[in-house]
Amino acid sequence: MKYHILAFGAGFLLDQIFGDPYFLPHPIRGIGWLIAKTEKALRSGNPQEDSPEREAAERRQGKLLVAIVLLLTGMFTALILAGAYALYPRIGMVVEAVMTYQILAARCLQVESGKVWKHLKAGNPEAAREAVSMIVGRDTQNLTEEGVAKAAIETVAENTSDGVIAPMLYTALGGPVLGFLYKAVNTMDSMVGYKNDTYLYFGWAAAKLDDVLNWIPARLSAWLMIVSAFFLGLDVRNAVRIYKRDCRKHASPNSAHTEAACAGALRVELAGDAYYFGKLYKKPAIGDRLRPICSEDIRRANRMLYASSVLALAIGMGIRIGLGGLGGWI
């Protein structure tokens, strides 16, 4: 039991210390490669024209993609972890800690959004637009400095759940196997879960499964952000008010929860209309514009991310202790 508990805590610390160095191979890239290759193989013979047959085929293929990726990800992770523990328990603990570290993305998120803050503080909006384009999907070339800061804050807020607290929760419940299975679903959603002509039917299964898996973590993350706002001296009362009012203002059932909590705590307005691939998408605003967004709000959002992560770590350690280590690698 102690090995699994120590590995969980060590994985969190490794993420905070090292982040995701670009020169090291990362298993999430491997999962992305698997998704791309499997998609190509499954869709090679599809009819090009729209038809009921094409819709049915793509839905079946999308479900098969989910099954194949999850099966291979789970088996590969379990075999490595089981083999490491079979060699020697302390080797298993080290491997489990490294896997946990690779599942989390708190430090990476802090570093990448910090680059945006640094360029804005230096008065270099072009470099800030380039930096924020690396962590958001929207068009950034025409964003104002306030728009750049807002995009970075939204990414930090949304990924507090998707990139940190949700994977931490699933890893606490089922070790790195369940943690990597969650990351596989999340990666599939980011690659094929689009409502466009290419992925509307093929990506449906991955997108729906991602919604299900993130339902509890998104809400837990929002409340952890609200609690963190109290410790950081931010506006807790407004965070609660905006969260309750705006947590459903998104096409996704989960995405607005952490954004609403963050917007309320910072007393700013997030979300709203944005351009993607040159096309304007109308989206409701989240929060009230009680003051303009500034570059320093990126750092405030990151402090909320860090505080929420520490709170989630405490919850996760409690889960690991409560489970008695039974979920260590299965």
pLDDT of residue 304: 97
pLDDT of residue 49: 63
Task: Note the pTM of the prediction, 2 decimals.
Answer: 0.92
What is the pLDDT tens value at each position of the chain, 330 positions in all? 688 999 999 999 999 999 888 777 889 999 999 999 999 999 876 666 666 778 888 999 999 999 999 999 999 999 999 999 999 999 999 999 999 999 999 999 999 999 999 999 999 999 999 999 999 988 888 899 999 999 999 999 999 999 999 999 999 999 999 999 999 999 999 999 988 888 889 999 999 999 999 999 999 999 999 999 999 999 999 999 999 999 999 888 998 999 999 999 999 999 998 888 788 888 899 999 999 999 999 999 999 999 999 999 999 999 988 887 444 444
- Residue 171, token pair as written in the block: 């890893």
Q: CA torsion sign, 25 to 106 to 299 to 215?
A: positive
245: how many CB neighbours lie within 10 A of its CB?
14
pLDDT of residue 51: 67
How many CA atoms within 13 Å lie on the side-chain side of 178? Answer: 17
pLDDT of residue 115: 96
Is 150 within 8 Å of 291 (Cβ atoms)? no
107: how many CB neighbours lie within 10 A of its CB?
20
Determine the distance from the C-alpha atom of residue 84 to the mean position of all C-alpha atoms in its chain, rounded to a whole number.
28
Could you tell me which of 165, 170, 194, 164 has the C-alpha nearest to residue 182? Answer: 170
One-letter amino acid at 30 equals: G
SS3 195: coil
